[in-house]
Amino acid sequence: MTAPDHRTRVAAEKRERMRMRLIESALHVFAQKGADAAVIEDVIAMAKVSRGTFYNYFRTNEDLLGAVVKALGDELLTLVETVVIECQDPAERLATGVRMALHTMQVHPLLAQFVARSGLAMAANNSLAMAYLPRDIQAAIDSGRFQLASVHVGLVLVLGTAHAAVTAMTLPPPLSSSLPAHYPEEVTYHLLLGLGMTKAQARKLVSTPITTVEFPEQGLLARTRTGHHPA
């Protein structure tokens, strides 16, 4: 049984590499053209695969976009969650997560461009985001840290503010180039005020040191950070 098992494993690994090649190509194309664009032809050309190969993995534009959103979102949010889960205060978890995500966008322009162009669907369609954010918002409401009518209102504030902040990063100069290095802190500070915290509470949270997100060497974020195109 060893040989068949080996062949099965090798075939599965080969299939996963091709799937990630298509997702990586799609990230570049979606970032350039937007989530609503029909990009299948462009992805096929960038990945240098046949139409038949593409359709062995994805049937529609929507399937492809969903795969990119999940791959990117799961990787980034998992990296962030391993840090923020150590925070006992739910408001600190949220503030730290937003700051880490925004700082990551600053050093990964392609990711920022994709998030800006894909809109709020990037977060709303990601299962991890919709697991972590409501958890922390509800806990912060229950503990009196946030003054909100509902978790839904909190989600709108967090997702809307974060998306607008990332979009600003992708605007042409001088608008984007004038943003300060501490831009993520200022955005998060005003977000926390909107969530019902005092100025002193919000300033304390955004002054806390945070961990820089380290991209796993073979992960999608690392492979696409420097503008690398699938070979």
The C-alpha atoms of residue 79 and residue 137 are separated, in whole angstroms, by 20
Q: What is the pLDDT of residue 73?
A: 84
Q: What pLDDT is recorded for position 69? A: 87
pLDDT at 103: 94
pLDDT in the model for residue 174: 84
In the 3-class helix/strand/coil scheme, how is the chain assigned residue by residue?
CHHHHHHHHHHHHHHHHHHHHHHHHHHHHHHHHCCCCCCHHHHHHHHCCCHHHHHCCCCCHHHHHHHHHHHHHHHHHHHHHHHHCCCCCHHHHHHHHHHHHHHHHHHCHHHHHHHHHHCCHHHHCCCCHHHHHHHHHHHHHHCCCCCCCCHHHHHHHHHHHHHHHHHHHCCCCCCCCCCCCCHHHHHHHHHHHHCCCCHHHHHHHHCCCCCCCCCCCCCHHHHHCCCCCCC
What averages of pLDDT result for each successive group of 10 residues across the chain (231 residues)?
70 87 93 86 94 94 89 88 93 96 93 86 69 93 97 94 94 84 96 98 96 87 74 56
Write down the pLDDT at residue 12.
82
For residue 230, the model assigns a pLDDT of: 60
pLDDT at residue 91, as a whole number: 97
Residue 131 is predicted with a pLDDT of: 81
Query: What structural domains does the chain harbor?
Result: 68-224 (1.10.357.10)
What's the pLDDT score for residue 10?
80
Per-residue pLDDT at 122: 66
pLDDT of residue 126: 67
